[in-house]
């Protein structure tokens, strides 16, 4: 309940900071669309995964995706602190 608003803030704020002005709306739109497609896919696959692998393994795999995203963000995403938008 409290995680979703934080995730949504990141989904819209960070892409707006990393794309330059002429690509900003496209970048934010692509980010939001990819997020929605991924969420829909996860909802569709969840019952099948629970049935095939059980709750523990399913939740571990579901937790790995945000962790992988975190690692990629730390390693490759540019720092936007104190940078002006162009």
pLDDT (tens digit per residue) in 38-77? 989 999 999 999 999 999 999 999 999 889 988 988 899 8
The reported pTM is 0.71
Three-state secondary-structure class, residue 70: helix
* Gap between the Cα atoms of 25 and 15, Å rounded: 9
- 17 is written with which tokens? 């900071």
Give the model's pLDDT for residue 84: 82
pLDDT bracket for residue 31 (50, 70, 90): confident
pLDDT bracket for residue 12 (50, 70, 90): confident
């Amino acid at each position: 309940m409290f995680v979703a608003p934080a995730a949504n803030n990141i989904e819209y704020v960070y892409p707006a900071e990393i794309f330059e002005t002429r690509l900003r709306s496209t970048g934010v739109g692509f980010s939001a669309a990819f997020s929605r497609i991924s969420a829909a896919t996860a909802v569709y696959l969840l019952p099948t995964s629970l049935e095939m692998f059980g709750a523990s393994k399913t939740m571990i795999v579901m937790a790995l995706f945000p962790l992988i995203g975190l690692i990629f963000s730390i390693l490759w995403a540019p720092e936007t602190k104190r940078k002006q938008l162009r």
